[in-house]
Structure 1
Amino acid sequence: MDKLRQAGCLKVRFPNRTVPGWMDVVMLNTGGGVAGGDRLDLAFGVAAGGRMTIAAQAAERFYRALAADAPSRVRTRLTVEAGAFVEWLPQETILFDRFALDRRLEVDLAADACFLGVETTVFGRTAMGERVRDGWLRDLIRVRYGGALLLHDAIRLDGDIDGALRRPAIGGGACVIATLVYVAPDASDRLDAVRKALASAEAGASVWNGMLVARVLGADNAAVRRTVVAALTTLRKDRPLPRVWLC
């Protein structure tokens, strides 16, 4: 590690390496959650030939925003140089009723860099009987490879979130959405194994231009998490998940 700068509620920690050659990074939000008007900015750079796994200590919570509040704003940029591999493995994002969130994940890959990422969004804690009746979401994952745009995946929801998610063309009653992205030379070779890992869930996966994208929907976070873990295990060639995922 050459440089580290952290300020405010965002911190990173570096646990002992579990796999030789891979650096593990664990993000912490010491604020205990995100409220309306909060702004979080994260930037990670992986030098040529580096290997890094970025995880989060726990699920991130976005609380109710007041009418006068600006949306919570989260910006994450990952820059991956030639021959490097970065994994973006935060845990779930939990959205509370009347949340307002504007979030972007920007991934800039050199032409021979690799990337594995997952984002899981939970609309209300179903075990607590919660539903998100109202909210505002602008969520974007954008991946560039060698300077060219490879993926622009945008989710826009506003107003009656619960009603929108019940529509067959949007969520079909799901309240948990997970998106996995894998960019690597063997992306096509991994497709069948990933589809097998997703077989028991409401999910699908496709490959194009050296990128594999999978989406998982569900009404139960625990079930979606099991499916995500199965797919990650396949894509990570049986390397153990970060320890924080097992706590």
Structure 2
Amino acid sequence: MKHNTELRPNAVAPWFFSGEYPELQRGSNPLTWQAIDGATLSNDDQQKPAGVTALRQEHTVLGLLTMYTYVQQSLDKQYCMVWNARMQPREDHCHIRAEVFQVDALQPLGDLQTVWSQFQGAYPGYFFHAPAAASFEFDVRAGQSEQQLAFADLIQTQFPQFLMPVKVPGLYAPAQKAASNTALLEFFTRQGRVRLIPQDWFNLGQWDFGYQWIAGGARRADNGRITIQGMRLPYYVLDETDRKLPPEQAS
């Protein structure tokens, strides 16, 4: 899947990972992302995983990501923020948990079959052999247009602003007949602010939900508008509301 390398939104595995994107460095050496064969992780034909992505330094594996795991690279490419969208949904809210790892602190995983068997016992969607350098965790409910949160200094420095796609139950009144509850969370970590931005153009539109979905987004430097990156969706630039398409794209 093609990703928008100019805007550098966060990427969701495995579809938007390729080669050295997202960009991470160990010292001055770039790391690479590579799809990994399920047979490398399990000998059980019934349990061979699919869609697993490995973070590598040459032949050494430093991390494993399952499907729907997101990575946001830091400004200096020495840290990565990681979360898994499958862990978010709850009955009446969305639970957000993200961790930041320092690339230089990542240790080789060793025998991958052993790691994978341990991985299944405590499933966060990703595995690194290193403690998190920082993290945050909170709940999002429909109607919370903005929240105030305190972020670690590291997050404020390296991840000052980014967008996170989420699904929030009850985002629309039943009368609106929304077929999806997709929103973007916009983080302003230095100000301690998180905005909830429902994506009306998508949720109330005629899409093949499940087959088509919003995978991420980023604000353009030239005009401040949000550009959407999606699975089987064109690149869209939203209007000034951050919720709708301009007329020339909506037609």
TM-score by length of 1: 0.27
- TM-score (structure 2 length as normaliser): 0.27
> Which entry has the higher C-alpha Rg, 1 or 2?
2
Of Structure 1 and Structure 2, the greater strand share is in 1
